[in-house]
Structure 1
C-alpha cells in the first residue's frame, strides 16, 4: 500500500458497533439522495479526472471529518481467497504522494485499473462513509453521512444476516451495528 501513499496501521475489530460492518459498507453505492448521499462524478474523457477525483476525496474527508485527531481513518481492504472473499477494516493514514484514484486503482488494491476506483473509507467514530465507484463512462467519489441511519445499508445488513451463512464474528458485528 505504500506505493499508493497509504499506510495500513492495524486491523479494526469486526465487532465495533459504531462503524458500518465492512460487508455492509460495500453496499453504499446503492444509497441514494434519501440517505444524504453527495456525489462528485468525473467523466472518463476528462484528462484531469484522476487529480480531480483525489482532490474530491480529500475535500470530502476534510469537510465531513473522516480523519481523527491523528490523521487516521478506516479503509476497507479485501482479502480474497478462492473460496472466501472478505473485506476488513484497517486503520490507515495517507502519506506523501498518495493517489487513491490513479495508482491505488491501478495496483488493483483500491479499484480495477487506472481511473477505475472501487474503495470504501469510514471515520472511526462512525459518522461518515466516503467511497469511490466506477461506472460505464465515469467514476464517482461520494459521501454517505450518518451511514448507520441509511435505510439501504440497514436493509443490506439485515439481508446479510438472513440470507447468507456468516462466520460468527461477522454475524456478531452486523447484529451489534443494527442494535440487535
Structure 2
C-alpha cells in the first residue's frame, strides 16, 4: 500500500494526519526505539488494559481502554494532537516516522483502524505506537494469542528496555543523524 492510500485509510479510521514531526531534539522516543515498547515490564511503569478476544464488545472496550489511558497519561496536547508512528514505505521495506495527528469525531482504532491495515492486522487485531508531543508517555496496542492489549509507558526515556534498545541501535553503526538523535534521547533519561 502506498503512502497516500495509508493516509486515506487512517482518515477512514478517524485519524487526521497533520504533518511529519521532527523529533530531532531528543524529547520524543525515536520511532525505532519505540517499537520495543511491548517488551517493557511493570518496572518501567507500564500500565496495561487487556481485552479478551471472546468479549463480544471487545472493539468498544478496546477503544474505551485507549481513551482512558490517553486521558490518564495526557497523550494529547491542548490542541488535541499527539504523535502516531506511520509506515512511510510499506511492504517489506517498512520505514516508520512520527506524524502529528488528531482524532476526528468518528474514530475507531481497534475496529476500522486495525481492519484498514494501518493500525493493525485486522478487525480487533490492533498494532500501533503513539507518543505525546512532550515525550512524557508512549501509548501502544498489540495483540496476543487470546487478547489484545492497550498499554502506556510513562517517562519512556527512563524505561530500561527502551534505553537498552537505543544503546543496541548505536552498536549497529547508524547514520550520523540517527546516532545524534539516539544520543540526545538517551541523555534525556540519564539524570
* Fold shared per TM-score above 0.5: yes
Moved more, 69-78 or 9-18: 9-18
Candidates 120, 145, 170, aligned match of 2:129: 120
Candidates 46, 55, 78, aligned match of 2:55: 46
Equivalent positions of 1:7-46 (< 5 A) are 7-46=16-55
Q: 1:167 Cα shift? A: 3.4
Q: Secondary structure at the match of 2:152?
A: strand
1: distance between equivalents of 2:101 and 2:184?
Answer: 23
1:133 has 2:173 as partner:
no
Candidates 71, 96, 100, aligned match of 2:105: 96
Contiguous gaps of at least 5 residues in structure 2: 1-9
Q: Secondary structure at the match of 1:115?
A: coil
Equivalent positions of 1:54-93 (< 5 A) are 54-81=63-90, 84-93=93-102
Provide the TM-score with structure 1 as the length reference.
0.94
| Correspondence for 1:153 | 162
Q: Secondary structure at the match of 1:179?
A: helix
Q: Secondary structure at the match of 2:117?
A: coil
String of CA shifts for 1:109-141, please: whole Å, max 9, x gaps: 011111100001110001111110001111000
* Equivalences, count: 179
Provide the TM-score with structure 2 as the length reference.
0.89
Residue pair 1:106, 1:114 contacting (<8 A) in 2 also: yes
Call closer, same or farther: CA 1:83–1:56 in 2, change over 3 Å.
Answer: closer
1: distance between equivalents of 2:93 and 2:181?
Answer: 18
1:170 has 2:141 as partner:
no
1: distance between equivalents of 2:93 and 2:158?
Answer: 29
Moved more, 138-147 or 82-91: 82-91
String of CA shifts for 1:40-95, please: whole Å, max 9, x gaps: 00111111011111111111111111010100000011123566422100000000
Residue pair 1:14, 1:169 contacting (<8 A) in 2 also: no
